[in-house]
Amino acid sequence: ERLHVYFSMENFFLITAGELEGYDPEGSSQDKIRSNVPNIDKYQYPNPTNFSLGVNVGF
């Protein structure tokens, strides 16, 4: 018998400093092809925060 419990988080928080406050280097622009400056707040949605919780039980 066994019990395995796990928990994980992705993109839980973002560390920035100075003039880059709030800028997400992993950000994605919907209009990247036509944008002059990629990854800068043009039609940008924040990356989702993911939480996973699991339980694995064996008998």
Residue-wise pLDDT for 18-38, tens only, equals: 666 666 666 655 555 555 555
Whether 54 shows a pLDDT value over 70: the answer reads yes
Residue-range domain boundaries for the chain: 2-58
* Residue 30 to residue 21: CA distance in whole angstroms: 21
**Looking at per-residue confidence, does 32 or 12 come out higher?**
12
Share of the chain above pLDDT 70, in %: 46
Question: With contact defined as beta carbons under 8 Å apart, do 4 and 59 qualify?
Answer: no
> Could you tell me the pTM of the whole model?
0.48
Looking at residues 49-55, what average pLDDT do you find?
A: 94
Q: CA-CA distance, 42 to 33, in Å (whole number)?
A: 11
